[in-house]
């Protein structure tokens, strides 16, 4: 077996495969506890990235090139530092987020310098879906517990939402959604493989009961197939009209819908009060189905009020005063201000529209940049897309 592996793959490729496999699939298990004030300690992914960083350093491969895949993220990291330094004039900063972003940068440099095999990543993605499917089935039948930032939880001790080997149902569902679209890029797979793994990914998303991810996957999938048959110019024109009409309805005519009695229509005045008056709903008089959003509004209000501190915080942001923003959009807007938001909009202009829609919807209520598993899955997706485009051009 060892001779076969050595013959078919180089030792370098085998090491790359093992590193990617562990980084994506290994559960959140602390090897070293850092502090009782933080859930996360030193984990195996931290040690692996440290090893990668040391290897890059001694091989003189840490330099950054303008043509690098993920180059805009390097710039965004500089924007974050500027915003945090500026924000420290007014608020205490969560500087602990900097090591996490350093890890992301090391991973980006590693992928640019080593060019891991796309086929190996496809294999890791399929392994992710299969292994998590097995663990989810075991968890649904109370045969095994769950892994989270709090450690291993025995069966019946969690929230009854399966997590597989990830830290939470939101991570499992988000990673599965990204992998769902990533596997569509594999033109060499058979129809049986495509449908089988697509079904597994969709099952893992729905079984986690993550409504936002289900919604984002649904709209992104519809958009994916629409763009196969509709020109982009016509689609952009339709999208602008739809956005303008929706905004007009939300701002001025939400009372039209009051007769339908749909409890979720209460979200419209909730967000209007939050945006224009910095008011959050009273949970005592709120339907329980809206508590998830209401609690997020209460959490977001902290960052929103800091963002509105003065004209400088509005433009350059208040820095990272919160560790968890519960929203990628608000992490960018509140943390780096209008300047950071404009830069991000410019940086993502070439992202496929269906993937952009997936991240926009799921990122409304989930911090995609803080979760290592989600960010790493996104990195792998964009790396595959970039490599396929490069091979096509050549």
Please report, for residues 75, 199, 361, the alpha-carbon distance to residue 340 in angstroms, rounded to integers and kept in the order given.
10, 38, 19
Would you report the helix, strand and coil content of the chain in percent, each value rounded to 5? 70, 5, 30
The DSSP call for residue 146 is E
pTM for this model (two decimals) = 0.86
- Per-residue tens of pLDDT for the chain, all 394 residues: 444 444 445 667 788 888 999 999 988 777 766 666 556 667 888 899 999 999 888 888 888 888 889 999 999 999 999 999 999 999 999 998 899 899 999 999 999 998 898 989 999 999 999 999 999 999 888 888 777 666 677 776 556 788 888 878 889 999 999 999 999 999 888 888 889 999 999 999 989 888 889 888 988 888 888 877 776 666 666 667 666 655 655 555 444 444 444 666 777 788 888 888 888 888 777 777 777 788 888 889 999 999 999 999 999 999 999 888 889 999 999 999 999 999 999 999 889 989 999 999 999 888 898 889 999 999 999 999 998 876 655 5
The DSSP call for residue 26 is S
- Residue partners of 337: CB distance under 8 A and separation at least 6: 83, 307, 313, 314, 315, 316, 317, 318
- Spatial distance between the Cα atoms of 74 and 78, rounded to a whole number of angstroms: 7
What is the CB neighbour count within 10 angstroms for residue 227?
14
pLDDT of residue 1: 40
pLDDT of residue 84: 95
Joined together, the tokens standing for residue 386 give 């970039």
Closest to 381 (Cα-Cα) out of 181, 110, 198? 181
């Amino acid at each position: 077996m060892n001779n076969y592996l050595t013959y078919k793959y180089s030792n370098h490729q085998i090491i790359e495969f093992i590193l990617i496999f562990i980084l994506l699939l290994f559960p959140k298990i602390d090897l070293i506890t850092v502090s009782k004030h933080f859930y996360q300690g030193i984990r195996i992914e931290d040690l692996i990235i440290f090893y990668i960083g040391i290897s890059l350093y001694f091989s003189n491969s840490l330099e950054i090139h303008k043509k690098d895949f993920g180059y805009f993220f390097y710039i965004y990291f500089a924007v974050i530092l500027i915003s945090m330094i500026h924000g420290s004039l007014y608020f205490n900063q969560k500087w602990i987020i900097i090591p996490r972003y350093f890890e992301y940068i090391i991973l980006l440099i590693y992928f640019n310098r080593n060019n891991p095999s796309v086929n190996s990543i496809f294999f890791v993605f399929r392994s992710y879906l299969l292994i998590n499917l097995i663990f989810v089935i075991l968890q649904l039948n109370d045969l095994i517990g769950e892994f989270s930032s709090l450690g291993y939880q025995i069966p019946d001790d969690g929230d009854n939402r399966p997590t597989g080997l990830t830290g939470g149902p939101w991570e499992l569902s988000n990673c599965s959604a990204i992998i769902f679209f990533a596997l569509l890029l594999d033109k060499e797979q058979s129809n049986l493989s495509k449908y089988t793994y697509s079904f597994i990914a969709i099952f893992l998303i729905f079984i986690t009961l993550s409504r936002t991810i289900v919604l984002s996957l649904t709209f992104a999938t519809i958009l994916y197939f629409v763009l196969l048959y509709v020109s982009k110019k016509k689609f952009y024109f339709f999208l602008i009209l739809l956005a303008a009409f929706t905004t007009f309805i939300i701002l001025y005519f939400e009372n039209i819908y009051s007769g339908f009695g749909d409890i979720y229509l209460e979200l419209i005045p909730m967000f209007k009060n939050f945006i224009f008056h910095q008011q959050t709903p009273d949970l005592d008089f709120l339907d329980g189905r809206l508590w998830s959003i209401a609690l997020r509004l209460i959490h977001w209000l902290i960052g929103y009020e800091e963002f509105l501190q003065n004209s400088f915080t509005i433009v350059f942001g208040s820095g990272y005063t919160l560790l968890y923003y519960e929203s990628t959009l608000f992490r960018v807007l509140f943390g780096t201000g209008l300047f950071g938001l404009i830069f991000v909009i410019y940086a993502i202009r070439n992202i496929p529209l269906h993937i952009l829609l997936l991240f926009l919807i799921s990122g409304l209520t989930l911090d995609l940049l803080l979760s290592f598993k989600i960010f790493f899955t996104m990195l792998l997706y964009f790396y595959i897309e970039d490599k396929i485009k490069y091979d096509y051009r050549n």
